[in-house]
Structure 1
């Protein structure tokens, strides 16, 4: 089974409305808080809510990736998820700190 690269929006294509929408869901926000501590194996994301079906976790990750909040890259047989904090801080200074600090 081949692991392939997923599309990530260029920083100039990321919109504030997409970021705010993605962060408005409590489950997605919890994932962002987990990833803010450092990159995680995709399987570990959402560990605080183990009752979520795999399909739901995949959808949550897709929304975060398409909004430009996380980067999801192949890592061996799995995927590594990291926060695009530096890029987002350039695009929307202080936004992530404000949202994650609340």
Structure 2
């Protein structure tokens, strides 16, 4: 685990170093539909998003849990900017470690959503 990056107000969050990101942790993190939806939103190209930018149908504590799972798996990076916790996809790290995995999973999720919309 890398040393946490310093944050505003002294708050820091630990993230795994790229060499510590494991495929099974990434797949576990992305196996939950809510977490996969968060990653799909982040992959949409709008840059970093605050936790409050996500429309998730669960309590704040459950949302916090889902973001922590994604962060600890190495899928997202979270940093404090003022009072907001900002989230960014670690696409470069994931693409370097597992070429094509993220794009394949996102494409499969989009196809699944399309199928469900037609049912």
| 1:35 pairs with 2:42 | yes
Aligned mates of 2:75, 2:99 — CA distance in 1 = 14
Matched, 1:14 2:5: no
For normalisation by structure 2, the TM-score amounts to: 0.79
Scaled by the length of structure 1, the TM-score of the pair is 0.91
* Higher RCO, Cα 8 Å, sep 6+: 1
For residue 91 of structure 2, what is the aligned residue in structure 1?
85
Unpaired runs of 5+ residues, structure 2, are 1-8, 109-119
Contact 1:3 1:77 in 2 (8 A): no
Query: Structure 1 stretches of 5 or more lacking a match?
Result: none
Q: Which runs of 4+ in 1 moved over 6 A?
A: none
Alpha-carbon RMSD: 1.1
Q: Aligned with 2:58: secondary structure? A: coil
Give the number of aligned pairs: 98
The change in CA–CA distance for 1:3 and 1:59 in structure 2 (over 3 A counts) is farther
Alignment-derived partner of residue 58 in structure 1: 64
d(CA) in 1 for partners of 2:36, 2:48: 15
The structure with the largest helix share of the pair is 2
